[in-house]
Amino acid sequence: MSVEIAGIGGVEVRSVSQNDPLAAPLIAELALEYSSRYGGTRDEIFEDLTTYPAEEFAPPHGALLVLTLGDQAIAGGAFRQFDSTTAELKRIWTSASFRQRGLGKIVVRELESEIAARGYRRVYLTTGPRQPEAVALYLSCGYAPLYDTALSPLEVGIHPFEKKLQVRHDYDRRVSA
């Protein structure tokens, strides 16, 4: 699927596996960002980000989507099953050179579409106290904070969010078609 982005042009939305080479640069950049905000080396964080079994981010219970411009991965994100009615967003990321163009919202929207199509009724996610951009993204996408917003980010610690979705029942038909 292609999405037109002002100032960028046509961006492809691709479903990939965790081990796909298109996902690697985004995960590496995410690891570098996390290490600069929270400590630890890029390699330690990268290893932590890739410890989830790849099948958790694969159909039928999960997905990993990457937005590409030509052959370059510029944004992405994933979800996995949290429980029978809830999907958990993971690894929402936009490459540093493509930020502030609405790509994060596109990633979240595309993931939510897949999540709803698979029958999940709720999306859950967490982000860290040193990621105000992520907090702003999730609030702008309609996610409700599950923490006391009067507290400072460091007092809150891990910031949980949720969003209720409209259930779609066409996933089984699309998969079997």
Out of 54-58, 116-120, 140-144, 173-177, least confident range: 173-177
**Segment 46-100, tens digit of pLDDT:** 676 667 888 999 999 999 999 999 989 999 999 999 999 999 999 899 999 999 9
Cα 143 versus chain centre, distance: 13
The count of domains in the chain is 1
Q: Look at residue 169 in the predicted model and tell me its pLDDT.
A: 58
Domain interval for residue 21: 2-176
Using the CB atoms, write b or e for 31-57: b if 16+ within 10 Å.
Answer: bbbbbeeeeeebeebbeebeeeeeebb
**Segment 11-25, tens digit of pLDDT:** 899 999 988 999 888
pTM: 0.87
Helix axes 24-38, 42-49, angle to 10 degrees: 120
CA 86, 99, 75, 70 torsion-angle sign = positive
Regarding predicted confidence, which is higher, 177 or 95? 95
Q: What is the CATH number of the domain that holds 45?
A: 3.40.630.30
CB 12 within 8 A of CB 1: yes
